[in-house]
Amino acid sequence: MNISRRHLLVLLPAAAVAWKYVEAGEPEASPNYRMSEHWWGMLINIPKCIGCGNCVRACATENEVPDGYFRTWVERYHVTDTNMTNPEVISPDGGKEGFPVAEEDAGKYFFVPKMCNHCADSPCTQVCPVGATFVSPDGVVLVDQKYCLGCAYCVQACPYGCRYLHPTKHVADKCTLCYHRITKGLTTACCEACPTGARQLADLKNPNDPIHEFLKTHPVEVLKPQMATGAKAYYYGLDGSVR
Amino acid sequence: MSGLKDAAHLFRFAGLFVVAFLVFLVVRGYVVPKTFGQYGHYRGAALGEIAARPVKFAGHQTCEGCHSDIADTKTKGAHGHVNCEACHGALAAHADDPTSVTPVKPDTLTLCVRCHTATAAKPKSFPQVNPADHMGGVPCETCHNPHSPALGADAGASPAAGGAK
């Protein structure tokens, strides 16, 4: 195709105007929600988890997570008395359909739900070359999927393995802490579906949130604290063998 | 003057730089999204876009708006803290349009055992049974009202009154 200089001069501004129109599409956010009033986290109560997989299924339904990929998953740890440092960890299909029956008197078993820790000093957001992933003003680590290139630096950078490349969108995908729900006053899908209350959404800026009393009175740990990620998934009853 | 005349090619070069810089500014103005940098090094509009995604789980508050009778039954029993959609699944579509979208009653033989199958990995205080010994294929709701599962705990909480319609 031959484009003359005159045509190019007409086409370029036209393309620019069209691009501007594409960029202008801004959907309505939640009108009564103020980002500056929230700082979100999650409390995970390990002794309450029964490994039913409700959270994994609910997350997949709510967020249309493709099969074989997980924004949250449940691991079952098996620690024997003589080999504390090498726990046997299983997570069949992310624990989506539960776990095989564990034998009695064979050491210690417990379930550990895993998800994005929504780190305040997140390694994944720091490596993004284009500014497609970020910590929102209310403390949620999000991916701008219109802006993401799919380079997967963030997937490698996350110390908790919480990100994946979406198999059809070819962009980074991860837990949004159900941002579309919490900004509407709902809890996350995993918390809504958890039958035992093992997961609780926590708003650390809300002085009336029971999280403050819980953190004050219970021993609580985050995963990989030595990495100083500022993780906000608080685990109660976390065994030292959990990686 | 002759010195400047000899430097004319440098001025042309400098002019080229100025033009290139202007072109860069114009292109940048068009290519960088308007809301980029609004809150940080990212597109501020992305927050609104993510927040605008549709909800699939309506939330128990929504369910209780209509099904207050079942909510009352449930509050009194051992399943009081279990949210409706933990068993019934995501039902925002039903809440939006109750007449045309009707939920399917869960099969208790698969639903209940997910949580209540006995295994050493569960906390000891959690009620657990061996499904084969406990019921041998008889659906759970034959004896238990799922909304208030203790046997004979509440006369008003019979399967007929509390069961899903």
Measured between beta carbons, the chain B residues lying within 8 angstroms of A8 are none
Indicate yes or no: CB of B42 within 8 angstroms of CB of A144: yes
Which among A33, A54, A104 has CB closest to B120?
A: A104
Measured between beta carbons, the chain B residues lying within 8 angstroms of A183 are 51
Instruction: State whether residue A89 sits within 8 Å of chain B by CB.
Output: no
Q: Find the mean pLDDT for residues A138-147.
A: 96
Instruction: State whether residue A113 sits within 8 Å of chain B by CB.
Output: no
Q: What region, left, alpha or beta, does residue B43 occupy, with left being phi > 0 and alpha being psi -120 to 50 degrees?
A: beta
A118 neighbors A143 (Cβ within 8 angstroms): no
Q: Is A199 helix (H, G, I), strand (E, B) or coil?
A: strand
B40 neighbors A122 (Cβ within 8 angstroms): no
Output the pLDDT for position A188. Answer: 97
> What is the reported pTM?
0.84
What tens digit of pLDDT does each residue of A154-164 get?
Answer: 999 999 999 99
Output the pLDDT for position A26. Answer: 40
Instruction: State whether residue A210 sits within 8 Å of chain B by CB.
Output: no
End-to-end CA distance of chain B: 98
- Catalogue all structural domains in chain A, each as residue range(s) with its CATH number: 37-118+177-236 (3.30.70.20)
What tens digit of pLDDT does each residue of A11-36 get?
Answer: 776 776 665 555 444 444 567 899 99
Rounded to a whole number of angstroms, the distance from the CA of A131 to the nearest CA of chain B is: 5
Of A63-72, A99-108, B154-163, the one with minimum mean pLDDT is B154-163
Which among A61, A97, A105 has CB closest to B56?
A: A61
Instruction: State whether residue B30 sits within 8 Å of chain A by CB.
Output: yes
Phi first, then psi: what are they for A217, rounded to 5°?
-110, 0
Tokens 């564990």 correspond to A102
Tell me the average pLDDT of chain A: 91
End-to-end CA distance of chain A: 59
Instruction: State whether residue B138 sits within 8 Å of chain A by CB.
Output: no
Q: Is A75 helix (H, G, I), strand (E, B) or coil?
A: strand
Tokens in use for A123? 């390694």
List the beta strands (DSSP E) in A144-240. Answer: 164-165, 172-173, 199-203, 220-221, 233-236
DSSP B82: S
B114 neighbors A98 (Cβ within 8 angstroms): yes
* Confidence check: pLDDT of A214 > 50: yes
Instruction: State whether residue A96 sits within 8 Å of chain B by CB.
Output: no
Cα separation, A130 vs A120, whole angstroms: 19
* Nearest by Cα to B119 from B130, B110, B111: B130
Count the neighbouring beta carbons within 10 Å of the beta carbon of residue A47.
14
Cα separation, B42 vs B39, whole angstroms: 7
Rounded to a whole number of angstroms, the distance from the CA of B4 to the nearest CA of chain A is: 34
- How would you classify the pairing of strands A172-173 and A141-143? unpaired
DSSP A48: G
Rounded to a whole number of angstroms, the distance from the CA of A94 to the nearest CA of chain B is: 15
Output the pLDDT for position A231. Answer: 97
3-state secondary structure A82-117: CEEEEEEEECHHHHCCCCCCCCCCCCEEEEEEEECC
Which of B39, B57, B88, B113 has the highest number of chain A CBs within 10 A, making it the mutation to test binding with A? Answer: B57
Residues in a beta bridge with A115: A72
Tokens in use for A241? 């063998």
Size of interface A-B (CB pairs under 8 A): 146
Output the pLDDT for position A85. Answer: 87
Cα separation, A162 vs A39, whole angstroms: 20
Indicate yes or no: CB of B121 within 8 angstroms of CB of A179: no
Instruction: State whether residue A30 sits within 8 Å of chain B by CB.
Output: yes
- The per-residue pLDDT string of chain B (165 residues; one tens digit each, 9 = 90 and over) reads 566 778 888 999 999 999 999 999 999 999 999 999 999 999 999 999 999 999 999 999 999 999 999 999 999 999 999 999 999 999 999 999 999 999 999 998 889 999 999 999 998 889 999 988 898 888 999 999 999 998 865 444 444 433 333
Tokens in use for A51? 């490994």
Indicate yes or no: CB of A76 within 8 angstroms of CB of B89: no
Indicate yes or no: CB of B42 within 8 angstroms of CB of A183: no
